[in-house]
Structure 1
Amino acid sequence: MADDDRFSRRSLLAVGGALAGAAFGGARSADAATPGPAVPADTGAVQGNRVLFPNWRGAGDPAPAPSPAPQPPSQRVGYCIVGLGRLSLDEILPAFGETKRSRLVALMSGSPDKARLVARQYGVADEAVYGYGDWDRLKQNSEVQAVYIVTPNAVHRENVLAAAGVGKNVLCEKPMAVASQECRDMIDACAKAGVKLMIAYRCQYEPYNRALVKAVRGGSLGKARLIQAFNGQTTGLPEQWRLKKALAGGGALPDIGLYCLNGTRALLGEEPDSVQATVHSPPDDPKFKEVEETVSFTLRFPSGVIAQCMTSYGVHESRALSIHTSAGAFDLQNAFAYRGQRLFVGRAEGKSEARDEKILSHKNQFALEIDHFSRCIQENVRPRTPGEEGLQDQILMEAIYESARTGAPVKTGPLPGTGSGLDATRGPEPEDPA
C-alpha cells in the first residue's frame, strides 16, 4: 500500500491531538483538523445519575451492559471490617475497589501491626484503626455506618451484639454462629437497636447462581426432581481455628457444607421437612480429633424434591451443583467458588442430546453482597439474606448432626413465625448488577 493511501504516523498524531483539545475545553483552534462532529453513539448522554450509550453492536451480538454508575464517595455507606484474616485480605478488602455504593473507612483487628499496615495499604486513617475492645470509640466515628464481621464463628455473637450496641448495621460472615440460640440473640439485639442484620451468603448474589435459580423455578425443563450438591477441599495445618470445635462449631459442615445446604434451600425457595445424615472422620488423622472431615446428608422437600449433599475436608477441591428434571438437567460447575462459574443445560433435541453453555458476565460476589447491604441501608429495604436465613441454616445443621448421631431421620420444617411460602426467610430479590 502506498504511503499516500494511509495515515502517516504524523497525521494520526495530529488528529489525536485535535480530539484531545476538543475534549478538554477546546484548547486547539476551531479550524484544527477533526474527523467530524461528535455523535451520541460515541459520547453518550446524561440521564439521571448515569451516562447512557445506545447499543452500538449489531444484531449478531448481545447488547452491552450499561456503563457503571458508582455513587460519589461521600454518598456511599462507610464500612469497618472486623477481623483481618485471610478472607478479609484476599477477597473482601480488594472487593471494595469494585463496589458502587460502599467504601472502606475503618478496620478492627486484634493484631495492631497488621492493622496499621493494612490501613496504609488501603488509605484508612490511623485514627480509624481499632482493637477488638474499641467499640465505644468506633461508636463516635460517624463515617462508619456498617460493620462487616469476619472473625471466627464462635465470636460472631459477641461481635454482632457489640456492633448493634453502638448503633452500627451488621453484615456477618456465615455460618451465622455456632448455635441456634446465639443466632436468635443476634437477631433480637439488632432488632432492639434498630439496625439491619445481613448474613454474607455471597452465592445468592452471584450472577450464575441467580440465573440457575430463575431457570429451575421457571420450569423450562419441567419440575426439579433431584439435586446433587458437593463442596469439598483438602485441609492442613492442624492448629488453624477451623479445626478447633470451640471456635468453629464443627468441621466441613459449617464451613463449606453450608453452601450445599443454603444453596439448595435458595434454589427451591422451600424448606426441607426432613434430613438424614452420616458423618465420618479418619480415626488416625489428628486434624479431625475435634471436628468432622466428611458429611453426607439428604434433604427431603414438601414438593417431593430430594437433595443429596456431600462435603469433605479430605478430597481434591470440587464445588458443583446439579439439578435433574424430567426433561433435562442443569449443571453449575464451580458453583460455590469465588470465581470461575460455568452453567450447562442438557436436554433432548430430537434423537440427540444437546448440552449448551449459558455464558454470563462474571461479577465480584463480595462486591455484590456488600453493595446489596448498602442499598438496604440507604433505602431501608430488608436484606435478601437477613438473620432469619442464617438461623434456619443453623437449625438444620443441628438436625444434620443429630441425625448422624442417632442414625435416624430428623423432622424439620419452616422457621417458626415465617410462614410456609417460598423464600419465607428472605427479603426481596437483590437488584441486577450493571
Structure 2
Amino acid sequence: MGPYPINGSRTMFGSEPIEVQAMGFKHSHPDLKMEYDTVSVHMRFPEERVATFVVGFATVLTTYYRIVGTKGEIIVDPSYNFDKAVSYTTRFGEGGEEEKTKNFPKVDQFGGETEYFSDCILKNVEPEPNGEEGLMDVRVVYAIKKSLETGKPVKLEPRNRIRHAQMDQLRSVSFGKPPKQKDVIGRDSEKPAVDATPDTR
C-alpha cells in the first residue's frame, strides 16, 4: 500500500488525522499472495473533516481523487500517475452547473523533486518533506495495520506539523529527450558498465 492518498489528504487539510478505521478484503486470485489485496480506509481529521480511500491490486487500475465541500467539488483525474499530464475539474452549485476544467502540461515529477532537493543542498536548508513528514505517513500506516488486525477504529495522538508544502517549492521540469541506445552504458545496453574481460594472469 502506497501512502499517496494518506499524504495527499494530510497535505490538502493541512492537519493530521485523529482516528483511522480500515477494512481489508481478500479475493481468490491465485497470483495475489497477500493477506489483503484490497483495503478501504476512513480517516477522521480535526474540524469534522474526513478522507476515505481504497487501494488494491484486485481492481481495475484507476488513480483519481475528489474533494467535496459545502459549495462544490474538485475532481483530479488522473492524479497519481507520474507519466501523464494532470488536469482538474471544478463543479459548483447543487447540480454542478458551474463546471470548469484546467489542464497542466506534462512535467517530469522526479526531475522537479531532484531539482528542489539539489537547491536545498546548495543553499544548506532543510527540505520541507523531511523525516518528520515521512514519519507522519508511517504512523497512519501503522494505525491502518492495527485497525485491520482488531477490526476497530484506532485513535491517533493529535499532532501538528509546523512546516507545510509551499508554492515556492514548486519546480516545473520538462521531460528531456531519452539518450540514444548507442550512448547508453550498463544495464539494457550492449556496452558493459565495467570491463568484463576475465583476468587470465
Which of 105, 113, 117 is equivalent to 1:361? 105
2:38 to 291, 294, 301: 294
Matches within 5 A, 1:17-416: 253=1, 255=2, 258-282=3-27, 284-338=28-82, 339-348=84-93, 353-415=97-159
What is the CA deviation profile of residues 339-380 of structure 1, one whole-angstrom value per residue up to 9, with x for unaligned ones?
Answer: 23220000129x971110012333211111111100110112
Tell me how far apart the structure 1 counterparts of residues 29 and 46 of structure 2 sit (CA, whole Å): 39
- Separation (CA, whole Å) in 1 of partners of 2:86 and 2:53: 19
One-letter identity of the residue aligned with 2:80: F
Q: In structure 2, what residue type is equivalent to 1:433?
A: R
Unaligned ranges ≥5, structure 1 = 1-252
Check 1:307–1:316 CA distance in 2 against 1; reply closer, same or farther (3 A cut).
Answer: same
Instruction: Confirm or deny: 8 A CA contact 1:386 1:425 kept in the other structure.
Output: no
Structure with larger RCO (C-alpha < 8 A, sep 6+): 2
Mark the runs of 5 or more structure 2 residues left unpaired by the alignment. 173-201
**How many angstroms apart in 1 are the aligned matches of 2:129 and 2:170?**
16
Aligned to 1:53: none
For the 8 Å contact 1:293–1:314, the answer to whether it is kept is yes
Structure 1 match to 2:184: none
The TM-score normalised by the length of structure 1 is 0.37
Q: TM-score, normalised by structure 2?
A: 0.77
Q: Deviations over 1:105-156 (max 9, x none)?
A: xxxxxxxxxxxxxxxxxxxxxxxxxxxxxxxxxxxxxxxxxxxxxxxxxxxx
Question: How much has 1:302 moved relative to structure 2?
Answer: 0.6
2: CA distance between counterparts of 1:433 and 1:261?
A: 22
Cα deviations by residue, 1:22-59 (Å, 9 ceiling, x for unpaired): xxxxxxxxxxxxxxxxxxxxxxxxxxxxxxxxxxxxxx
| Structure that is richer in helix per residue | 1
Q: In the TM superposition, what is the alpha-carbon distance from 1:291 to its structure 2 partner?
A: 4.5
Q: CA deviation at 1:288?
A: 3.2
The root-mean-square deviation of aligned C-alpha atoms, in Å, is 2.2
Task: Report the equivalent of 2:190.
Answer: none
Deviation at 1:425, TM superposition (A): 5.8
Q: Tell me what 1:433 maps to.
A: 171
Q: CA deviation at 1:433?
A: 3.2
Whichever residue aligns with residue 276 of structure 1, its letter is: Q
Residue 387 of structure 1: how far off its partner (Å) = 1.3
The alignment of Structure 1 onto Structure 2 pairs a total of residues equal to: 171
| C-alpha distance in 1 between matches for 2:35 and 2:55 | 13
Change (3 A) 1:289 1:302: same
CA contact (8 A) 1:345 1:357 kept: yes
Q: Deviations over 1:91-111 (max 9, x none)?
A: xxxxxxxxxxxxxxxxxxxxx
Contact 1:298–1:309 at 8 Å: present in 2 too?
yes
